[in-house]
Amino acid sequence: DAGVTQSPTHLIKTRGQQVTLRCSPKSGHDTVSWYQQALGQGPQFIFQYYEEEERQRGNFPDRFSGHQFPNYSSELNVNALLLGDSALYLCASSSDGFQETQYFGPGTRLLVL
Amino acid sequence: SQKIEQNSEALNIQEGKTATLTCNYTNYSPAYLQWYRQDPGRGPVFLLLIRENEKEKRKERLKVTFDTTLKQSLFHITASQPADSATYLCALLNNDMRFGAGTRLTVKP
């Protein structure tokens, strides 16, 4: 049983560009959450998707958007990249929002130059 | 504003000793609290969850306490081993999920 997978593993972009990150949840999970983790910090919640809709959102600007597909996989899109968007982006899946164990993927390391 | 503080950035202990990590929070009423382990370059791995009406939870060498009056959780690793060296994160859950910055634990042989 594959766990949570994310692609790509690393990405380099320049300021102003747009990026799409992808996540496949653990088998049997229908909820996907995205987090941003800056170096030396804990993960910060971006948003959570359930039944193809954004169910909750953290304190992130509209430049951050997402999507969930019928097979529960998800994408995170970031527009107009800033230097400060450089971070490890983590995807986590669960079977019932935050109340059940979240399983994290290995993350996508994004560097904005 | 809501704040989550983990006792220190780094904690060094000798193998065999008990490691105790602290998570304090302010202006928050979590329904659940979770502890995760994170190794460099990897995603966090869930360890334990404790609910607001639970005082203590154990799993093998791990023990978590949750004091909603003190607004504090303690995370203990007994008989620590070098393989326990990692960053440990606490996360508070209510309507959303908020993580502390983590404590980097090093267990020396």
Average pLDDT over residues B66-77: 95
Q: What pLDDT is attached to residue A1? A: 63
Provide the pLDDT for residue B7: 78
- Percent of chain A scoring above 90 in pLDDT: 88
- Look at residue B94 and give its three-state secondary structure: coil
pLDDT band at B11 (very low <50, low <70, confident <90, very high): very high
Predicted confidence band at A97 (pLDDT cuts at 50, 70, 90)? low
**Predicted local distance difference test score (pLDDT) of residue A98:** 65
Please, how many CA atoms are within 13 Å of residue B29, restricted to the half-sphere of its CB? 1
Long-range CB contacts for residues B68-75, cutoff 8 Å, separation at least 24: B68/B29, B70/B24, B71/B24, B71/B25, B71/B26, B71/B28, B72/B22, B72/B23, B72/B24, B72/B25, B73/B22, B73/B23, B73/B33, B73/B35, B74/B20, B74/B21, B74/B22, B74/B23, B75/B20, B75/B21, B75/B22, B75/B23, B75/B35, B75/B48
* A68 within 8 A of A52, measured Cβ to Cβ: yes
Interface test with A, best of B95, B96, B103 (most A CBs within 10 A): B96
> What is the arithmetic mean of pLDDT over B10-17?
95
Does residue B6 contact residue B17 with C-beta atoms inside 8 Å? no
Q: Do B95 and A43 touch (CB under 8 A)?
A: no
CB spacing of B96 vs A58 below 8 angstroms = yes
Q: Is B96 on the interface with A (CB under 8 A)?
A: yes
Structure tokens belonging to residue B86? 């990692």
How many Cβ atoms from other residues are within 10 Å of residue B31's Cβ?
Answer: 13
Which residues are registered as beta bridge partners of B75?
Answer: B21, B64
Mean pLDDT is lowest, of A37-46, A67-76, B5-14, for B5-14
pLDDT interval class at A72 (50, 70, 90): very high
